[in-house]
Amino acid sequence: MKKGILALIIIVGLLLIGGLWIGGMNNTMVEKDEAATGQWANVESSYQRRADLIPNIVNTAKGYAEFEQETLTQVIEARAKATSVNIDASNITPENIAAFQQAQGGLTSALSRLLATFERYPDLKANENFKELINELERTENRINVERNRFNGLAQDYNTYIRKFPRNIFAGMLGFDRKGYFKAEAGAEEAPTVEF
């Protein structure tokens, strides 16, 4: 009888220790997942900041470049497309990030064409309001880069944690999936050709 009670106490003790260990592991996964998800919100906020600047840039430029309507229209359309692609923070997969990045890349490309076009307008380049908007856009682009790098770091920490043994066994059962990363766009490894 005493052996049965002792065996029951040992089994209950082991189950309690195992439950506490799994609970602690789950809590750490939640913390790391929330850190990466919170950083994703910072990435989206930085992109939104850029999207909010674009109408001001376009409106300031319209008065100087009436016949550049096609370029302005392309920027407006790219902005609409970029802001329409949203990712649910609980589903930050590589595929979703690639779609988000592609839409944002289209906007970056349209902005580059717009800024290159306006090099031909010295009055616009001299406009203080336009210069400040462009400076703000450059600061925002830097902020986007910083926030993306921070997200990648937190996503890597989270992914590494959930993929290590024995956590990888429980991560899937507890609903923790790998997060995607921001990656360089295709062709980014090649330096652009600059001609003078």
Under the banding of pLDDT at 50, 70 and 90, the label for residue 110 is confident
Chain mean position to CA 145: 9
- Quick check: is 86 in a domain? yes
Which two three-digit tokens encode residue 5? 């009670």
- Structure confidence by residue, pLDDT tens digits, 114-141: 888 777 777 777 788 888 888 999 999 9
- Quick check: is 12 in a domain? no
- Quick check: is 189 in a domain? no
Under the banding of pLDDT at 50, 70 and 90, the label for residue 189 is low
Residue 59 belongs to domain spanning: 33-173
Distinct helix (H) and strand (E) counts, the chain: 6, 0
- Quick check: is 38 in a domain? yes
- Quick check: is 101 in a domain? yes
Under the banding of pLDDT at 50, 70 and 90, the label for residue 191 is very low
- Quick check: is 193 in a domain? no
- Which long-range contacts link 58-64 to residues 24+ away (Cβ below 8 Å)? 58/114, 60/124, 60/127, 60/129, 60/130, 60/133, 61/114, 61/118, 61/124, 61/130, 64/118, 64/121, 64/123, 64/124, 64/127, 64/130
- Quick check: is 4 in a domain? no
- Structure confidence by residue, pLDDT tens digits, 11-34: 999 999 999 999 999 999 999 999
Residue 10 has pLDDT above 50, yes or no: yes
Task: Report percent pLDDT > 70 for the chain.
Answer: 91
Under the banding of pLDDT at 50, 70 and 90, the label for residue 166 is very high
Cα–Cα distance between 107 and 103 in angstroms, integer?
7
* Number of domains composing the chain: 1
- Quick check: is 188 in a domain? no
**What is residue 179's DSSP assignment?**
P
Residue 82: CATH number of its domain: 1.20.1440.20
The chain-wide mean pLDDT, for the chain, equals: 87
- Structure confidence by residue, pLDDT tens digits, 57-100: 888 877 776 657 788 888 889 999 898 888 888 888 888 998 89
